[in-house]
Structure 1
């Protein structure tokens, strides 16, 4: 059976999920020239932190942008079961919850079935709650649905002995500087802070404090804020609606960026 503890000689880690775990909006400095970008994100950053706590870290990231929960469970989870890593992170369901008519109770049942399969391999599992969207005017109406899903996720974690990264309670991420302009993906600094939070959850000492207050912010005036809203609607919201209406996804035709357990330097 697999397992995970800080300080063991070799750590194998697999990340499952969508664009949040793929790392969108946190490009590597050398990403120019890659057709789909080359993104880092909190999972890559977390894996790199683990290098300080093991002789060898083997890391795979199977996450693909735009994936729904069922796609993650059918396309990514079997590969994770096959790899039998020491540690698996699972953040899934967010793309489902923002769709009209999403049922958080039904989603939670599917999520638990996936967690059960992962835990049966002996892997330690980390699950993530959803963000509190109360600070985002356009997404505020989803708050109750996300809260319901979160309660289910906590129950699942309790029943199966999983770690929990509680994104809902991370108030430091309720600052516009933690987010990319599309308002759905974390900024590079947001990803960096989340990686530190995951380290805290697994007990990996690192330099830096994810909850450190942001520097004093110069407020955006009302006119500039409205212009930002219009730009966001034109550049992101309308294309997103069009994809939903035509049954397309931003991840169509894309594969995972790290499909195999590969050693990190």
Structure 2
């Protein structure tokens, strides 16, 4: 597969969807695109906005909860998702597993594949994504690079076995562009969430989608702070609290529930 190439969209089932259900963790919940006071948007919401255009019967549910690992997404979200009888679903999880001290990528993808299988067998068209190399924005994450490469290969293989569309985010040149990431560098910025929405729409063959998301971003005219001082500030502001939660056995998703647990109407696309 060439850089920026996605799996071929299904020419039969790509024209209209009525019930979209999103499963996953913080990225699918929309962290980095809005806030907990004014509300989160995120790539799944943006994709749903696209799908509702000219489709008055369209409904959308987002079951994602931040901090969830792949096994937790399967245990907590798959059953409710199947009960909603989606005709299109997205499954994106695994990053929270990769950032743990120990992880078996085969087991992580085993949970993803179980969700792929159950959803496709129910009649849903399913899409997923590959994960970007976080070391390009977080140098301290170098120890997990091999895990990311391994899990992406496993995701591609599992998706192929079940006819799941794959948006190849991992191969996009914007991975290293800080404009596509929020300040914590673990979650996408609004620009990054839009890129994922466009990539998934293209992988699904949604009318009006294209491969424009694969094009390199325009030059960044605003310099991004780099160097040891910038890394120390980032570590103190974001890494230290994250490590503290891990040591205490806590999760950012503790006591949280899905933001849209039931199918509902969604507004037409916004301008940004």
TM-score, normalised relative to structure 2? 0.87
- In the alignment, which of 210, 214, 221 is matched to residue 211 of structure 1? 214
State the alpha-carbon separation in 2 of the partners of residues 234 and 112 from structure 1.
37
- In the alignment, which of 175, 178, 185 is matched to residue 176 of structure 1? 178
State the alpha-carbon separation in 2 of the partners of residues 247 and 67 from structure 1.
13
- In the alignment, which of 10, 13, 20 is matched to residue 5 of structure 1? 13
Deviations 1:147-206 (A, max 9, x none): 111111111111111111112111123211110110100011111122111111111214
Instruction: Tell whether the 8 Å contact from 2:245 to 2:251 is kept in structure 1 after alignment.
Output: yes
State the alpha-carbon separation in 1 of the partners of residues 194 and 130 from structure 2.
18
Deviations 1:53-111 (A, max 9, x none): 52322000010111111110111111001111001100011100111111101212222
Helix, strand or coil: the match of 1:14? strand
Report matched runs for 1:152-231 at 5 Å. Answer: 152-204=154-206, 205-206=208-209, 209-218=212-221, 220=223, 225-231=227-233
Report matched runs for 1:69-88 at 5 Å. Answer: 69-88=70-89
Report matched runs for 1:57-68 at 5 Å. Answer: 57-68=58-69
Partner of 2:49 in structure 1?
Answer: 48
Instruction: Tell whether the 8 Å contact from 1:17 to 1:72 is kept in structure 2 after alignment.
Output: yes
Helix, strand or coil: the match of 1:209? helix
State the alpha-carbon separation in 2 of the partners of residues 72 and 64 from structure 1.
8
> Please, what is the CA RMSD of the aligned residues?
2.1
Show structure 2 runs of 5+ residues with no match: 1-11, 268-272
Instruction: Tell whether the 8 Å contact from 2:129 to 2:200 is kept in structure 1 after alignment.
Output: no
Superposition deviation, residue 219 in structure 1: 6.7
TM-score, normalised relative to structure 1? 0.89
Partner of 2:106 in structure 1?
Answer: 105
* Cα 1:152/1:227, change in 2 over 3 Å: same
State the alpha-carbon separation in 2 of the partners of residues 7 and 127 from structure 1.
18
**1:89 maps onto 2:90 in alignment:** yes
* Cα 1:177/1:86, change in 2 over 3 Å: same
Superposition deviation, residue 221 in structure 1: 7.6
Report matched runs for 1:246-265 at 5 Å. Answer: 246-265=248-267
Partner of 1:19 in structure 2?
Answer: 26
Superposition deviation, residue 114 in structure 1: 2.2
Instruction: Tell whether the 8 Å contact from 2:91 to 2:112 is kept in structure 1 after alignment.
Output: no
Deviations 1:223-243 (A, max 9, x none): x54332122111110111110
Instruction: Tell whether the 8 Å contact from 2:21 to 2:90 is kept in structure 1 after alignment.
Output: yes
